[in-house]
């Protein structure tokens, strides 16, 4: 799996959805939830409106979305843990809605919650559906999967990536969620994204250039504009420092990142570990860096309950670099199995995972 894909995942989990149209936002945390206007429910008991005194989760996904396929089982787990909350997965931006029902049937028990399709007017584009316009576009969200939590008063209490929903959902259902604070934090996040858009093009250009010096400079510029983004973009700088063979600076920076916001997220820790053990860096990291990567990868695997193929792949590489070929092989076999089970969402980059498996097999026989 390439560094770009992994870092993209970090940004997705740490920042929220893939992209945000700041100027388009008219719906925010604390606002009354829009109406549920779906074409039909393909699974579960239909819901026509939000019932006072009941919490809801409205999550947007699509059959073609790889990350959505990954988050679906997690939503199922949350639904099982929160039986008094109504989870509704709404399929949006589908070019062919006829694919939705077969997809849901294929997922089976992995998708154990209500599922509906967006109400798209005849001859209109997929993004003109009622749910797409009144929820996603209105909230300035144009990346999926994206989830909205609606509280017992019928107000939007949280917006974000479903893999980061556990803690806010628990607080909302228990009544300990501070809606005013959440609204203010969301407003600040939108402002920060607007600032980040100014330097985003430079970051992408630096990433594509392959020049580690330019990448370090780009990340430092982003952090200068939006300090809270260091946890999301820092692993890029860390990989660049290793590629420049500035091992001491890399270790110092890695230790800083390990204490940042990303320590709370499986994908964040995964990105930190991969930044160190990434085979494309071309420079062997120091033993202390590898030790830190192994610790971060273990924690990421623990947070993901051992069910994320990309994280298992990173952990296996950390084991291998630390000299434990046997453990690396065992973990890599799990990585390959998990990625195959994930299906289409894991196809990109899986060849590298298989290649590493063969590498570890040979090393374990010695």
Structural domain includes residue 268: no
Whether residue 78 is contained in a domain is answered as yes
Whole-structure pTM over 0.75, yes or no? no
Nearest-angstrom CA–CA distance, 341 and 108? 13
CB-side neighbour CA atoms (13 Å) of 226:
24
The domain that holds 168 is classified in CATH as: 3.40.30.10
Our count of domains for the chain comes to: 1
Q: Do the beta carbons of residue 14 and residue 265 sit within 8 Å? A: yes
Q: Is 73 among the domain residues?
A: yes
53: left (phi over 0), alpha (psi -120 to 50) or beta: left
User: Average pLDDT for consecutive 10-residue bins of the chain (366 residues)?
Assistant: 41 38 70 96 96 98 92 96 98 95 95 97 92 95 94 97 95 96 90 75 88 94 84 90 94 94 88 92 92 97 93 96 96 92 58 92 90
The whole-angstrom separation of Cα 211 and Cα 243 is 9
**CA pseudo-torsion sign 329, 346, 276, 14:** negative
Residue 292 counted as domain residue: no
Q: Does residue 322 fall inside a structural domain?
A: no
Angle at 201 between CA 197 and CA 202, to 5 degrees: 115
Please give the Cα distance from 143 to 61 (Å, whole number): 9
CB 119 within 8 A of CB 130: yes
Please, which residues bridge with residue 114 across strands? 88
pLDDT at residue 262, rounded to an integer: 85
| CA dist., res. 78 & res. 89, Å (int) | 13
Please give the radius of gyration of the chain, using alpha carbons only, rounded to the nearest integer: 21
* Encoded tokens for 237: 């700088």
Does residue 149 fall inside a structural domain? yes
From the list 16, 11, 3, 18, the residue with the least C-alpha distance to 232 is 11
Q: Quote the CA–CA distance of 310 and 1 in Å, as a whole number.
A: 8
Count of other CB atoms within 10 angstroms of residue 290: 21
Q: For residue 98, tell me if it sits in a domain.
A: yes
pLDDT in the model for residue 4 = 38
Dihedral sign from CA coordinates of 30, 32, 37, 41: positive
**DSSP letter string over 13-75?**
HHHSSS-B-GGG----TTSBPPP--EEEEEESS---SPPTT--EEEEEE-TT-HHHHHHHHHH
Asked whether residue 163 is assigned to any structural domain, the reply reads: yes
Structure tokens at 58: 């409205």
- Interatomic CA distance for residues 343 and 68, integer angstroms: 12
- Given this model, what pLDDT does residue 20 score? 37
The whole domain housing 48 covers 20-177
Q: Which residues are CB-neighbours of 108 under 8 A, at least 6 positions away?
A: none
Secondary structure class of 89 (helix, strand, coil): strand
CA distance 57 to 69: 17
CA distances from 141 to 51, 55, 257, 336 (A): 25, 22, 28, 32
pLDDT of residue 343: 63
Predicted confidence at residue 9, as pLDDT, reads 40
DSSP string, 114-155: EEEEE-PPTT--GGGSHHIIIIIITTTB-SSSEEEEE-TTSB
């Amino acid at each position: 799996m390439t560094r770009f894909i992994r870092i993209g995942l970090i940004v997705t989990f740490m920042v929220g959805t893939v992209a945000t149209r700041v100027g388009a936002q008219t719906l925010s945390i604390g606002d009354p939830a829009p109406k549920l206007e779906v074409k039909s429910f393909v699974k579960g008991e239909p819901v026509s409106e939000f019932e006072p005194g009941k919490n809801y989760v409205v999550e947007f996904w699509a059959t073609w979305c790889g990350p959505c396929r990954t988050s679906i089982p997690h939503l199922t787990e949350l639904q099982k843990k929160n039986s008094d909350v109504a989870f509704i997965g709404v399929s949006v931006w589908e070019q062919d809605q006829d694919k939705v029902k077969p997809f849901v049937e294929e997922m089976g028990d992995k998708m154990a919650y209500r599922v509906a399709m967006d109400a798209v007017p005849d001859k209109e584009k997929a993004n003109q559906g009622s749910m797409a316009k009144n929820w996603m576009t209105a909230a300035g969200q144009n990346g999926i999967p994206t989830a909205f939590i609606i509280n017992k008063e019928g107000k939007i209490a949280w917006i974000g990536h479903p893999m980061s929903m556990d803690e806010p959902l628990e607080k909302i259902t228990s009544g300990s969620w501070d809606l005013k604070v959440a609204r203010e934090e969301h407003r600040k996040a939108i402002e920060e994204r607007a600032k980040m858009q100014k330097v985003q093009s430079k970051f992408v250009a630096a990433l594509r250039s392959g020049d580690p010096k330019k990448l370090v400079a780009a990340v430092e510029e982003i952090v200068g504009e939006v300090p809270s983004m260091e946890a999301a973009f820092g692993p890029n700088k860390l990989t660049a420092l290793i590629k420049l063979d500035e091992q001491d600076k890399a270790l110092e920076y890695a230790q800083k990142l390990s204490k940042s916001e990303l320590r709370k997220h499986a994908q964040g820790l995964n990105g930190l570990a991969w930044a160190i053990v990434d085979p494309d860096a071309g420079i062997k990291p120091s033993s202390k860096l590898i030790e830190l990567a192994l610790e971060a990868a273990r924690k990421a695997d623990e947070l993901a309950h051992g069910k994320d193929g990309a994280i298992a792949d990173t952990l296996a590489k950390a084991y291998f670099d630390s000299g434990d070929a046997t453990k690396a092989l065992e973990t890599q076999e799990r990585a390959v199995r998990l990625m195959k089970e994930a299906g289409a969402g894991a196809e990109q980059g899986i060849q590298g995972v298989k290649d590493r498996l063969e590498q570890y097999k040979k090393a374990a026989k010695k």
